């Protein structure tokens, strides 16, 4: 009667030992029965090689269809491709949740709203893993012929941090429908540039080196006088 030879796997922490000195950055992982490491890809919390829970699984600068520094819980982030800090143009497409300001129905006498998914595009430039310069968040839109992209938000980056003033455009200010992740124009205008003017604009000024916002101002869309709907300061 033959006896099976027992194979002893190394302890979990040993299995997370990644290659050293090859110029690449690795993320480590460990669970109840699995352990290992892999090359850093996508967004990362810092540039220190190795370490657990370093990955950021969603875009660290986007909250819904807006740039919102105070909600991202990450002052800056590093973008990696195949274990190296990325330098080049960033054009990332992903899906976010958006809640139209329209009553979907009533439950126990109270109105409720329904969230939808929108496919957005995050654009900007990255140098040595850190976003620099102007950043744009856009989405596809139909109903305007050759003009098929709508800017939802814009900001400025400095060493991976959102700095200065963020501009967010409010889709709830116009009549739209979201179908298969794409915005469809349901407003009265068929003029793309007139449609853009109809969007309410919220400007948020942030403190550099902090997630604290200093001032938040919302302007009325389709108003050439720059009418202010609301203005708040964060004391």
- pLDDT (0 to 100) of residue 223: 66
Cβ-contact 39, 82 below 8 angstroms? yes
State the pLDDT at residue 96.
Answer: 96
Region of 160 on the Ramachandran plot (φ > 0 left; ψ -120 to 50 alpha; else beta): left
Its pTM stands at 0.88
Residue 160 pLDDT class (50, 70, 90 cuts) = very high
pLDDT-above-70 percentage for the chain: 93
Q: What pLDDT is stored for residue 5 in this prediction?
A: 59
**CB-CB contact of 125 with 90 (8 Å):** yes
* pLDDT value of position 101: 86
pLDDT, tens digit (0-9, with 9 covering 90-100), for 17-53 = 999 989 999 999 988 788 999 999 999 999 999 999 9
pLDDT digits (tens, 9 = 90+) for 70-80: 766 678 899 99
Question: How far is 187 from 17, CA to CA, in rounded Å?
Answer: 58
Please tell me the predicted confidence (pLDDT) of residue 111: 87
The tokens describing 152, both together, are 């939802």
pLDDT digits (tens, 9 = 90+) for 102-136: 888 888 888 888 899 999 999 999 999 999 999 99
Q: Note the Cα 170 to chain centre separation in Å.
A: 16
């Amino acid at each position: 009667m033959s006896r099976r030879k027992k194979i002893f796997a190394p302890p979990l922490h040993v299995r997370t030992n990644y290659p050293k000195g090859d110029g690449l950055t690795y993320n480590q992982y460990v669970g109840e029965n699995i352990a290992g490491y892999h090359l850093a890809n996508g967004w990362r919390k810092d540039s220190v090689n190795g370490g657990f829970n370093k990955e950021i699984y969603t875009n660290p600068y986007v909250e819904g269809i807006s740039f919102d520094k105070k909600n991202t819980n990450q002052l800056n982030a590093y973008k990696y491709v195949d274990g190296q800090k990325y330098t080049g143009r960033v054009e990332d497409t992903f899906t976010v949740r958006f809640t139209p300001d329209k009553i979907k129905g009533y439950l126990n006498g109270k109105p409720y709203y329904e969230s939808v998914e929108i496919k957005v595009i995050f654009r900007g430039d990255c140098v040595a893993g850190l976003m620099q310069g102007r950043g744009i968040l856009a989405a596809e839109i139909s109903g305007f012929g050759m003009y098929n992209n709508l800017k939802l938000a814009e900001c400025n980056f400095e060493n991976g941090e959102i700095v200065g003033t963020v501009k967010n455009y409010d889709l709830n200010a116009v009549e739209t429908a979201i179908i298969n992740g794409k915005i469809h124009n349901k407003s009265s205008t068929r003029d793309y540039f007139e449609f853009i003017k109809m969007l309410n604009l919220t400007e948020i000024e942030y403190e550099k080196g902090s997630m604290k916002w200093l001032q938040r101002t919302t302007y009325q869309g389709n108003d050439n006088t720059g009418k202010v709907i609301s203005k708040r300061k964060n004391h």
